[in-house]
């Protein structure tokens, strides 16, 4: 499996199913749409494709999906996950017209786990480890919030701790210098597939460009291989994409999240 088309086909076939939402509290179907409820008042909309629908049909699905989630007062945040290779006429217009706002597009990157699992030297004083204790998870989450310019969210840390309590395979990894977490990321093996995902990569500005994120990625790749996963996928920012490309990863498409937020 070496070509971009083959990797994209594997992505569509293996990942755009229940495998995409392992920690869902509830999943409902609306046409081809999967309406997913997550812990913490989060709704999520995804699909394997839109079945060649026209703009009018797609607009109806957008309105119907929003209506479904708005009937649940606990839902405060909804993400519609779009992919650049889907045939989706009128989708952007329908989403924006229903109050969804597009965020920055990211590159869908796929490659062999073995190509990432290499030895990477770390700066003096920096060490990697997997974390599971509440204090560590909250510190990791707070660091990532700061990197992404968000206020520190106890809800995000709470969600990660609940995921760990379910023992669904997710791993949290950090790089530390002394008592300071300087980089972090998740590994999410996808049950019943060849894939594991690497998510949430964040490195403090002062520590970037020193190989730390690359080493953290290599550690997660080694762990994925130990689980029997041969492929890694990632929705990558312009910062992380070149790191993966240097390891032979391929950009197979793009993904753009559209976000709806409940009024304050």
pLDDT per position in the chain (264 positions), as tens?
568 999 999 999 999 988 888 788 999 999 999 999 998 899 999 999 999 999 999 999 999 999 999 999 999 999 999 999 999 999 999 999 999 999 999 999 999 999 999 999 999 999 999 999 999 999 999 999 999 888 888 988 998 999 899 888 999 999 999 999 999 999 999 999 999 999 988 999 999 999 999 999 999 999 999 999 999 999 998 888 888 898 889 999 999 999 999 998
Q: How many CB atoms lie within 10 A of CB 13?
A: 11
Close Cβ partners of 148 (under 8 Å, ≥ 6 residues apart): 202
pLDDT value of position 117 = 94
- Is there a single domain that holds both residue 98 and residue 149? no
Q: What is the distance between the alpha carbons of residues 120 and 246, in angstroms, rounded to a whole number? A: 13
- Is there a single domain that holds both residue 126 and residue 187? yes
- Is there a single domain that holds both residue 247 and residue 144? yes
- Is there a single domain that holds both residue 144 and residue 157? yes
pLDDT value of position 1 = 54
- Is there a single domain that holds both residue 185 and residue 62? no
pLDDT value of position 53 = 97
- Is there a single domain that holds both residue 121 and residue 228? yes
pLDDT value of position 168 = 86
- Is there a single domain that holds both residue 118 and residue 209? yes
Q: What is the distance between the alpha carbons of residues 29 and 27, in angstroms, rounded to a whole number? A: 7
First to last CA, the chain: 48
Q: What is the distance between the alpha carbons of residues 90 and 104, in angstroms, rounded to a whole number? A: 19
Decide: helix, strand or coil at residue 46.
strand
CATH number at residue 200: 3.40.630.30
- Is there a single domain that holds both residue 115 and residue 210? yes
- Is there a single domain that holds both residue 131 and residue 232? yes
- Is there a single domain that holds both residue 120 and residue 161? yes
Q: At what angle do helices 154-166 and 134-147 cross, to 10 degrees?
A: 130
Counting residues of the chain whose pLDDT is more than 90, the rounded percentage is: 83
- Is there a single domain that holds both residue 116 and residue 246? yes
- Is there a single domain that holds both residue 170 and residue 226? yes
pLDDT value of position 101 = 98
Q: Which burial class, exposed, middle or buried, applies to 203 when counting CB atoms under 10 A from its CB (0-12, 13-18, 19+)?
A: buried
Q: What domain range is 64 assigned to?
A: 4-107+256-261
Provide the greatest CA pair distance for the chain: 58
**How many domains does one find in the chain?**
2
Q: What is the distance between the alpha carbons of residues 73 and 210, in angstroms, rounded to a whole number? A: 45
The encoded tokens of residue 143 equal 């660091």
């Amino acid at each position: 499996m070496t070509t971009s088309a083959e990797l994209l086909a594997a992505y569509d076939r293996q990942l755009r199913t229940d495998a995409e939402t392992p920690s869902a509290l509830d999943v409902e179907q609306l046409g081809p749409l999967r309406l997913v409820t997550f812990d913490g008042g989060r709704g999520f909309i995804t699909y394997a494709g839109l079945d060649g629908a026209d703009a009018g049909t797609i607009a109806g699905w957008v309105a119907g999906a929003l209506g479904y989630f708005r009937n649940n007062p606990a839902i405060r945040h909804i993400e519609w996950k779009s992919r650049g290779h889907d045939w989706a006429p009128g989708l952007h217009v329908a989403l924006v017209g229903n109050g969804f706002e597009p965020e920055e597009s990211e590159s869908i990157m796929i490659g062999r786990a073995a190509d990432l699992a290499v030895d990477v030297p770390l700066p003096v004083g920096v060490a990697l480890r997997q974390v599971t204790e509440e204090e560590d998870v909250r510190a990791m989450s707070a660091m990532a919030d700061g990197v992404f310019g968000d206020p520190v969210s106890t809800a995000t840390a709470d969600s990660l701790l609940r995921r760990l309590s379910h023992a669904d395979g997710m791993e949290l990894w950090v790089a530390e210098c002394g008592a300071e977490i300087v980089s972090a990321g998740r590994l999410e093996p996808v049950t019943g597939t060849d894939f594991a995902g690497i998510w949430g990569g964040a490195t403090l500005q002062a520590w970037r460009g020193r190989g730390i994120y690359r080493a953290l990625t290599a550690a997660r790749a080694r762990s994925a291989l130990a689980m029997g996963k041969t492929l890694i996928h990632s929705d990558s920012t312009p910062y992380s994409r070149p790191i993966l490309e240097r390891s032979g990863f391929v950009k197979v498409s793009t993904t753009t999240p559209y976000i709806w937020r409940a009024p304050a």
